[in-house]
Structure 1
Amino acid sequence: MPTPTARAQDREIVRLAVPAFLALVAEPLFLLADAAIVGHLGTRELAGLGIAAAILQTVVGLCIFLAYGTTAAVARHLGAGQLRRALAQGIDGIWLAILIGTVATVAGVLLTTPLVALFGTGPAVSGFAEDYLRVAFLGTTPLLIMLAATGVLRGLQDTRTPLVVAVAGNLVNIVLNYVLVYGAGPVPALGIAGAALGSVVAQVASALALGWVVVRAARREGASLRPDLPGIRASGRAGVPLLVRTLTLRASLLIGTYAVVLASGSDDGVGMATHQLAMTLWSFLAFVLDAIAIAAQAITGRYLGAGDVDGTRAVTARMITWGWRSGIVTGLGLAALSPFLGPLFTPDPAVQDLLVPVLIVAAIGQPVAGIVFVLDGVLIGAGDGRYLAWTGLLVLLAYAPAALVAGWLTHSVVWVWVAMTVVFMGARLVVLVTRSRGSAWMVTGAR
């Protein structure tokens, strides 16, 4: 296969990344809508949402391999000309999502109180966190089905269908959240629990829509829809390194949240509420940059499946350029808007004032984040999960003491964010760039 030109590479990246970008912009609106609506209930409610969101995102985030691993595997089979096998493996991934989701839902509901207690917040904030989390855990299985089905479609080089479903699901989510939180007509005001319930209903609808698209494609190609235990086990084994990699990333973010609790020291909720808003906005921008990483997963898997090493190397270099340039754009935008974002989510002037310097720190790290996300996507698409797992542990060991010391010594949320930007993202940049310059990750073929 001839190496594509830079213009052809750009067209391929844009074709996959733009719909993924729009879908990923839509997805964080689940949390942005909750933050905006719940934030006007009160600062303690918003802080409670921050605790609940950190726990829920950790549980669901640990299963991101259902999307990433499926994307890489399906894309490799597609590149090798094995469409039926690609869809069969995708169906196995969806069944695995159902199994994991069922266990996670039951465990999450039963363990809500002790999970919230781990953060050591006062009873007022903890109560609101528990109210939200118990309901939100009911959406775990639909969320995991969405991850697996989205991974299948991305592996098939289809990022438009997840976009349509994400936009529709978020519109439903915003309407339901507002009605259920504040009440309307015969619908009673449920407070923070209403925000969780609205999101769960929207997630169920989205999972059904994405699942139907994958099932229809599988039936068209003659792929079996029944649970295949060897295939499910194989999908599970392949996901273990990515699970470890994700576990280290989520552990780092949880440690950052705990460091904010250390830095805040009181139960007024200002520090935690600020951190929640900053993390929501940072996650929003992370998803924006991750659109190129999603294109990287799909393109890398397909090129390596077809045995095109030169094309893989060339398109990787091109996507890195897209990554740092996009990071500059998002960083400048975040810095410029930082004084105006706080009032959109909370009327508390203390939270508004503290949010500005935190967002400035986050903005400075955006170009590095752009490169990190792209290279992460390239190595996931290549199936280089073991390297990502081991280096994730190294990054965690470097970041954890830096974050905890920053929170304990400075009592400043801003310095906790400095530790995240410099140590956490900086260490990830080093290990990913080092790997990408070698060739050990470029294994060709369908497996």
Structure 2
Amino acid sequence: MGVSHASTMHNPAKLFLSLRALGAPAVVVSLAIQGIFRGLKDTKTPLLYSGLGNISAVALLPFFVYSLNLGLNGAALATIASQYLGMFLLLWSLSKRAVLLPPRIEELDFVGYIKSGGMLLGRTLSVLITMTLATAMAARQGTVAMAAHQICLQVWLAVSLLSDALAVSAQALIASSFAKLDYEKVKEVTYYVLKTGVFVGAVLALLLFASFSRLAELFSKDPAVLQIVGSGVLFVSASQPINALAFIFDGLHFGVSDFSYSASSMITVGAISSLFLLYAPKVFGLAGVWAGLALFMGLRMTAGFWRLSSSAGPWWFLHQKEPTYKLHSSTC
């Protein structure tokens, strides 16, 4: 990550990451179950139980960190506990609607998931590598700069993921209509969610630009940290419309099962952004890190727009003048 052994961040960060790794199984299982509920067009259940898990974290964090005086390790343990609580709640809810294990283990069919799952694994690794590299380059700027970067990053991600709700809804609606060959409905949902994404992104950008300085004070009172955070307000706010469209395009790709393009484009985007992140921070400092992350999201949005603009891919029906491709019940 670029943090030297002599740094005051090294040992606490190492122990924190080691503890947080224990929560990885819970996160993976929870994400898989959330995907199942999305396929069932049920977004309320994962919202409810994931929300309960997050609320438990809000209660456990101050207890572990301050009451038990565990500090940073307490933050890791509280997060792990909340992650497993959310996972067990999701498992319990899913078990009431489906048989989680078949009568015989040999009936488990993994072959159909290997191809799509393998491609999406590459996509996920690309995102992970890019974000990790950004954090590593920020860490090399020093303790104060790293603290400011984490504040900007957490706000940036949290607000950006509000737009992900649009992507999830679009994915479920489009997948259902696409399977029925109802391309007119797919087109309607696609255009609607894209316009909504632009509007939501613009609103979030304005709200963040107006309130970010006060919001940052919830994370730190250090004047040096807040001064650097203030310089990142444009990155956090102005990128919100881009982030919204990038997430929505991901949902659209998944809705039409365009996993191959989603994975290959993300790997390409990640490679370009990573190269930028390797060099830009050396010249521009923390601003280079933020520019690299903005480039990452901008290229994701561009790749999504290009795919929808192409008549050769699964979005060919968007370019048809006459809707003769839709199947009607009278002709079946």
Q: Same fold (TM over 0.5)?
A: yes
Give the % identical residues: 27
Specify the alignment match of 1:413 in structure 2. 286
Q: 2 CA distance for matches of 1:310 and 1:290?
A: 23
1:374 aligns with 2:257: no
**Pairwise CA RMSD:** 2.1
What is the Cα deviation at residue 341 of structure 1?
Answer: 2.0
1:191 aligns with 2:68: no
1:272 aligns with 2:146: yes
Question: Which residue type is aligned with residue 247 of structure 2?
Answer: F
1:201 aligns with 2:81: yes
Specify the alignment match of 1:67 in structure 2. none
Aligned residue runs from structure 1 range 274-353, under 5 A: 274-353=148-227
What is the Cα deviation at residue 402 of structure 1?
Answer: 2.2
Specify the alignment match of 2:325 in structure 1. none
Specify the alignment match of 2:3 in structure 1. 120
Q: 1 CA distance for matches of 2:225 and 2:45?
A: 38
What is the Cα deviation at residue 207 of structure 1?
Answer: 0.9
Instruction: Give TM-score, length-normalised by structure 1.
Output: 0.66
Residues 101-144 of structure 1, C-alpha deviations (whole Å, 9 max, x = no match): xxxxxxxxxxxxxxxxx432444201111222222222111111
| C-alpha spacing 1:309/1:223, structure 2 compared with 1 (3 Å) | farther
Which residue of the other structure, out of 99, 109, 129, is the alignment partner of 1:251?
129
Q: Is contact 1:245-1:385 (8 Å) kept?
A: no
Aligned residue runs from structure 1 range 99-118, under 5 A: 118=1
SS at 1:231 equivalent: coil
Q: 2 CA distance for matches of 1:123 and 1:143?
A: 30
| C-alpha spacing 1:217/1:443, structure 2 compared with 1 (3 Å) | farther
What is the Cα deviation at residue 155 of structure 1?
Answer: 0.9
What is the Cα deviation at residue 358 of structure 1?
Answer: 0.9
Specify the alignment match of 2:306 in structure 1. 434
| C-alpha spacing 1:404/1:311, structure 2 compared with 1 (3 Å) | same
**Structure 1 residues 428-437 or 323-332, which shifts more?**
428-437
Give ranges in structure 1 of 5+ residues lacking alignment. 1-117
Specify the alignment match of 1:52 in structure 2. none
What is the Cα deviation at residue 442 of structure 1?
Answer: 4.8
What is the Cα deviation at residue 342 of structure 1?
Answer: 2.2
Which residue of the other structure, out of 272, 275, 284, is the alignment partner of 1:401?
275
Specify the alignment match of 1:9 in structure 2. none
| C-alpha spacing 1:335/1:229, structure 2 compared with 1 (3 Å) | farther
Q: 2 CA distance for matches of 1:429 and 1:168?
A: 32
What is the Cα deviation at residue 415 of structure 1?
Answer: 3.3
SS at 1:173 equivalent: helix
> RCO greater where, 1 or 2, for CA within 8 Å and sep 6 or more?
1
Give ranges in structure 2 of 5+ residues lacking alignment. 318-332
1:425 aligns with 2:297: yes
Q: Is contact 2:123-2:266 (8 Å) kept?
A: yes
Specify the alignment match of 2:322 in structure 1. none
| C-alpha spacing 1:347/1:371, structure 2 compared with 1 (3 Å) | same
Residues 304-349 of structure 1, C-alpha deviations (whole Å, 9 max, x = no match): 1222122112211111001111100111111111211222111211
Q: 2 CA distance for matches of 1:276 and 1:393?
A: 24
What is the Cα deviation at residue 238 of structure 1?
Answer: 2.0
SS at 2:17 equivalent: helix
Residues 217-241 of structure 1, C-alpha deviations (whole Å, 9 max, x = no match): 114xx98376456523432332111
| C-alpha spacing 1:154/1:126, structure 2 compared with 1 (3 Å) | same
What is the Cα deviation at residue 167 of structure 1?
Answer: 2.2
Residues 362-418 of structure 1, C-alpha deviations (whole Å, 9 max, x = no match): 2111112211111111001211111112212221232223223221012x2123212
Give the length in aligned residue pairs: 315
SS at 1:288 equivalent: coil
